[in-house]
Amino acid sequence: MKNEPFIMESWSTEQWLARKYWVNEDGTPNLVYLRENYGDAEVPIFDGCDYSVMKYSQYIDRILSGEVKPSSYLKDWHFQNSFGTAFYFLHPFMQRDWVNCEEWSGIGSPFGDDYRFVYHGVQGSWTKLHSDVVVSHSWSANICGRKQWLMVPPGKEGLFRATRDDFVEDMRARSHLWSEAKVISFIQEPGEIVFVPSNWYHQVHNISDTISINHNWINSTNISMVVEFLKQRKIDVKNEIADCSDMFTERKFSRIQIRLLQTWTKSNVLFLG
């Protein structure tokens, strides 16, 4: 309700089957089990610039051979679409999820797809400074491994702008501004769940080989922020293409704005039409 970050300790995931089967006794990812059970799945690999797709078994083989570099990161894998959610269950706090846990959720919904993901990164992999899609909340559960989080309270992210429209990729380059920006830095341990509130810019570093389960979500606590965000983005889109308005009817021009808004926000939310 306060739109502030917090950590749920490892007790919150200790009964998850993922914690039992995806992890070796020494705390490292159980690559043998993962390859045998999910190896044929196609997974998205982010290499620092673009996504590519490969078999999960190929990614695991590259990890085992030492070919995977920190610049390559398996992220935003819609694992649950293919394999379900039997390997974890939601704490009651996280069940009020209008994007993933309602009758209209998933493929064909107003959101276009679910927003549930699995991440698998080697030591040193990281995500650039960003805020989550359509100012949603998110949570991230470490199945194994440790992560360092850097979080920026809403209103302070401007200190890390590179240009009017973009932010620096790595906020560590401006560590001298962290105090002024009230940056929160902490380590997420195995089994812990981090709650990332709406509009909090953040950057995440894998201290060791790490697998995590993540949801982006919207409910009554942040829906007003989501609506205001989309309204403002629609105005931005309209202003950006205003010089083309005479080429279309008013109705078609409005549809073009919505289409561009969907692309911009990486969302299929249509309710502002």
pLDDT surpassing 90 at residue 272: no
Same domain, yes or no: 126 and 256:
no
Are residues 250 and 213 both part of a single domain? no
Kindly state whether residues 181 and 252 are assigned to the same domain.
no
Q: What is the pLDDT of residues 26-70, one digit of tens each?
A: 999 999 999 999 999 999 999 877 889 999 999 999 999 999 999
Instruction: Give this prediction's pTM.
Output: 0.88
Q: How many CA atoms lie within 13 A of 66 on its CB side?
A: 0
Residue 229 sits in the same domain as residue 214: no
Each as own residue / partner, the long-range contacts of residues 94-99 (CB below 8 Å, 24 or more positions apart, any chain) are 94/139, 94/215, 94/217, 96/219, 96/220, 97/215, 97/217, 97/218, 97/219, 98/217, 98/218, 98/219, 98/223, 99/136, 99/215, 99/216, 99/217, 99/218
Residues 80 and 146 in one domain: yes
* Tens digits of residue pLDDT in 95-120: 888 888 777 666 555 555 678 999 99
Look at the chain and report how many structural domains it folds into: 2
Q: For 188-199, write each residue's pLDDT tens digit.
A: 999 999 999 999
Q: For 144-153, what is the mean pLDDT? A: 98
d(CA 89, CA 251): 44
Residue 106 lies in a domain: yes
Which among 221, 236, 255 is the end of a domain? 221
pLDDT of residue 147: 98
User: 58 and 153, same structural domain?
Assistant: yes
Task: Look up the domain containing 231 and give its range.
Answer: 224-265
Please indicate, yes or no, whether residues 197 and 228 belong to a single structural domain of this protein. Answer: no
> 169 and 235: one domain?
no
| Cα 145 to Cα 23: distance, rounded to the nearest angstrom | 9
Residue 272 within a domain = no
Same-domain status, 240 and 157 = no
In this structure, the answer to whether residues 35 and 167 fall within a common structural domain is yes
Q: What is the mean pLDDT of residues 63-86?
A: 93
